[in-house]
Amino acid sequence: MSAPVLEVKGVTKAFGERQVLRGIDLTVGEHEAVALIGASGSGKSTLLRCIDLLEEIDDGDVFLDGEVITDPAVSPVAVRRRLGFVFQAYNLFPHMTALQNVMIGERHAHGARKAEAEERGRALMARFGLAGREDDRPDNLSGGQQQRVAIARAFAGKPRALLLDEVTSALDPELVGEVLAAVRDLKQAGMTMVIATHEMSFAREVADQVAFLHAGRILELGPPERVLEHPEREETRRFLGRLLAAGRI
Amino acid sequence: MTEAATIPASERRLEREAAKRRRSRRGAAIAALSSVLVIGGLAVLVLTSNGWPEVRETFFSWTEFKNAFGEVLSGFWLDVKVFMGVEVAVLVIALALALIRVSRSSGLFPLRLLSTVFVDVSRGIPTVLMVYLIGFGVPALQIVKPAPDPAILGAIALTISYSGYVSEVYRAGIRSVHRGQHDAALAVGLTHSQAMRLVILPQGIRRVAPPLLNDFISLQKDAALISIIGPVEAFRAAQIIQGENFNFTPLVAAALLYLAVTVPLARVVDRMGGTEGAVR
Ligand SMILES: Nc1ncnc2c1ncn2[C@@H]1O[C@H](COP(=O)(O)OP(=O)(O)O)[C@@H](O)[C@H]1O
Ligand SMILES: [Mg+2]
């Protein structure tokens, strides 16, 4: 097996008194997709944000392509340029068009020329089914379209890995499919991903591994068939049972 | 729209639209009538008062108006130059102050402290007092010789006063932009200052444009304050003529000139407000 793209080792994180991550270990290999599941408040978003250096960790380290990125000497900006992040609430820039949203990283973070960035931006939008919506403001797009713009924006910087934080949770049910299709497309293209999600059937379909996060620890980690169908831990069984009762599986 | 044309209107819909038209006609009639009553009543009250003939002569004399207007207008030109210059300076300085105050970097700590003190002090001193202090204090220091033009000193005083206010308006705008915007800007690989320039400021400033222009309305009137340290702007020019002829019409002329620049701006502010949801 080739060297891992992402390695999380013993990461802890507290917000004031509240200990959110209590020692996380996770390895994500090249072209691998890891689904992060767990109850609301279990720390999924915090873990993804720590990997993208949007939060400062307290202890442990994160490695990207074998290099430590959580060292104070490492420039967080340079690290974020090698990663992509898709937010639950899209977080598109409302004062820019969809195309400008997709281009902004290329233009201003990666120093591409305008024509080049625009060509790539248009191609990416077409790839995610957004041809014709280039000049629309995010407000004029549906939630599903907005999230696909956000995925294109994150992907435009040619990231080594994509971090997706419950990218379908803010969507109306009938719009979930189109966004999942975009993620499936990325998986097929070989993108390395960490996907926080509540969509268990989707996790089963695209994830190579499922990590169950509970109270700041990864309690269970393994192939989806094992973790989702034959969970070993009582907490995992209870969590899946609750989802089942709520009709989410 | 095109679809509506193809759907034949039902009885019910025609009825509803007719009722709506009746209601809006009635509304317009009531508005017109009440306006005539209120404005007419006020006019009658003023025009039939015992003092009106005298007031008309001392405040609204057409001959005095024509006589004084030229000088008041040339005084007003100084007001215009002062407030335009101050507006540009305030926009730039206030933005710098706001950016320093929202910065986190420890290297900027001394600047941040100075900015906070500056904003507190400049907002806390009455503008008229600031004009007085700068207008007489700076020449007394004798740093530059000859002493600078009092109109410039007045403009500096107004700049100091208004930069404090406007920087707080900017700061409110910056803080109103959702934290997720900053996260997203960093996530696409922008630096903190790029995030500020490309993502936070364009949104924040747009949001506070109405209150910011409101401060400029008030600034355009306050240009008259520089007269207390000497410059003959519109108010002072009018006052001089009034002193010679014992007639207040020149001051009314000055008032009309101030209105001519503040009312259009007020209408602009009105138009801008309420574009983002809210109560219309
Ligand atoms: N910026 C923050 N300040 C304080 N507490 C936070 C912050 N972000 C997250 N938390 C807390 O951390 C815990 C985990 O949150 P989160 O990572 O968002 O969980 P999940 O994404 O799994 O729902 C929650 O209890 C939340 O209240
Ligand atoms: Mg979350």
Determine the pLDDT at residue B1.
47
Note whether A166 and A198 are within 8 A (CB). Answer: yes
pLDDT digits (tens, 9 = 90+) for B200-235: 999 999 999 999 999 999 999 999 999 999 999 999
Distance of CA A118 from the midpoint of ligand 2 (Å): 32
Mean pLDDT confidence for A191-215: 94
Q: What 3-state DSSP class applies to A18?
A: strand
Burial class for B24, CB neighbours closer than 10 Å (0-12, 13-18, 19+): exposed
For residue B202, the chain A residues in CB contact (below 8 A) are 95
Residue A45 CA to ligand 2 center (angstroms) comes to: 4
* Per-residue confidence (pLDDT) for residue B4, from 0 to 100: 55
> Out of A76, A95, A109, whose CB is closest to B188?
A109
Residue A74 has pLDDT above 90, yes or no: yes
* The pairing of beta strand A6-15 with beta strand A59-64: antiparallel
pLDDT at position B277, please?
Answer: 46
Peptide bond before residue B146 is cis, with ω within 30 degrees of 0: yes
DSSP string of B173-211? HHHHS-HHHHHHHHHTT--HHHIIIIIIHHHHHHHHHHH
Quickly state the pLDDT bin for A2 (edges 50, 70, 90). confident
**CA–CA dist B120, B165 (Å, integer):** 9
Q: Where are the alpha helices (DSSP H) in A52-208?
A: 76-80, 98-104, 114-127, 143-156, 173-188, 200-206
DSSP B224: G
Mean pLDDT of A167-186: 93
Is the minimum distance from the CB of A41 to ligand 1 under 6 angstroms?
yes
Say which residue, A189 or B146, is predicted with more confidence.
A189
Q: Is the ipTM of this complex over 0.90?
A: yes
Burial zone of B209 (CB within 10 Å; 0-12 exposed, 13-18 middle, 19+ buried): middle
pLDDT digits (tens, 9 = 90+) for A76-101: 999 999 999 999 999 999 999 999 99
Q: What tens digit of pLDDT does each residue of A8-39 get?
A: 999 999 999 999 999 999 999 999 999 999 99
Local structure of residue B8 (DSSP, 8 states)? P
Residue in A49, A89, A157 nearest the CB of B189? A157
**Nearest by CB: B190 against A54, A95, A108:** A108
Q: Which of B106, B174, B182, B188 to mutate to test the interface with A (most CBs of A within 10 A)?
A: B188
Name the nearest CA neighbour of A37 among A225, A207, A198. Answer: A198
C-beta separation of B95 from B170 below 8 A: yes
Please state, in angstroms and rounded to a whole number, the distance separating the CA atoms of residues A55 and A53: 5
Q: Specify the pLDDT at position B174.
A: 96
Q: A50 alpha carbon to ligand 2 midpoint, in Å?
A: 13
Tens digits of per-residue pLDDT, A108-156? 999 999 999 999 999 999 999 999 999 999 999 999 999 999 999 999 9
Whose Cα sits closest to atom 13 in ligand 1? A41
A77:B185 CB<8 A: no
Give the H/E segment covering residue A84.
Answer: strand A83-86
Q: Residue A234, class by beta-carbon neighbours within 10 Å (0-12 exposed, 13-18 middle, 19+ buried)?
A: exposed
**pLDDT for the residue B3:** 52
Give the residue, by CA position, lying nearest to ligand 1 atom 27.
A41
Q: What is the per-residue pLDDT for B163?
A: 96
Q: What is the pLDDT of residue B145?
A: 77
Is residue A42 lining ligand 1, measured as CB closer than 6 Å?
A: yes
Q: How many angstroms does the Cα of residue A205 sit away from the middle of ligand 1?
A: 27
CA-to-CA distance for B190 and B195, rounded, in angstroms? 6
Strands A209-214 and A33-37: parallel
The partner residue sitting opposite A80, judged by closest CB among B178, B187, B199, is B187
* E strand or H helix at A196: strand A193-196
Which residues of chain B are modeled with pLDDT < 70? 1-5, 273-280
Measured between CA atoms, how close is A76 to chain B, in angstroms?
9
Token pair in block for residue B133: 């202090």
Extract the tokens encoding B228. Answer: 């207390």
Chain B contact for A139, CB < 8 A? no
Angstrom distances, CA of residue A178 to CA of A21, A143, A194: 32, 10, 19
The CATH superfamily holding the domain B71-279 is MetI-like (1.10.3720.10)
pLDDT of residue B273: 66
Chain A, nearest residue to B182 by Cα? A91
Determine the residue of chain B that is closest to A108 in CA distance: B190
Residue located via tokens 């899209």: A90
Q: Give the model's pLDDT for residue A247.
A: 74
Q: CA B35, B39, B41, B44 torsion: positive or negative? A: negative
Set of chain B residues whose Cβ sits within 8 Å of the Cβ of A52: 187
Q: Whose CA is nearest to atom 16 of ligand 1?
A: A43
How many angstroms separate the alpha carbon of residue A43 from the centre of ligand 1?
Answer: 6
**Residue A222 reports pLDDT greater than 50:** yes
A92 in contact with B at a CB cutoff of 8 Å?
yes
Q: Phi-psi region for residue B246, left (φ > 0), alpha (ψ -120 to 50) or beta? A: left
Query: CATH 3.40.50.300: which residues of chain A?
Result: 1-82+161-249
B163–chain A nearest CA distance, Å = 27
What the block records as the tokens of A65 is 């392509």
Quick one: closest CA in A to B197, which residue?
A108
Other C-beta atoms closer than 10 Å to the C-beta of A173 total 7
Q: Is the minimum distance from the CB of A216 to ligand 1 under 6 angstroms?
A: no
Q: Whose CA is nearest to atom 5 of ligand 1?
A: A15
Domain layout of chain B by residue ranges = 71-279
Query: What residues pair up with A194 in beta bridges, in sequence order?
Result: A34, A163
The ligand placed nearest to the CA atom of residue A214 is: 1
CATH code for residues A1-82+161-249 = 3.40.50.300
Cα A107 to the chain's mean position, in Å?
A: 22
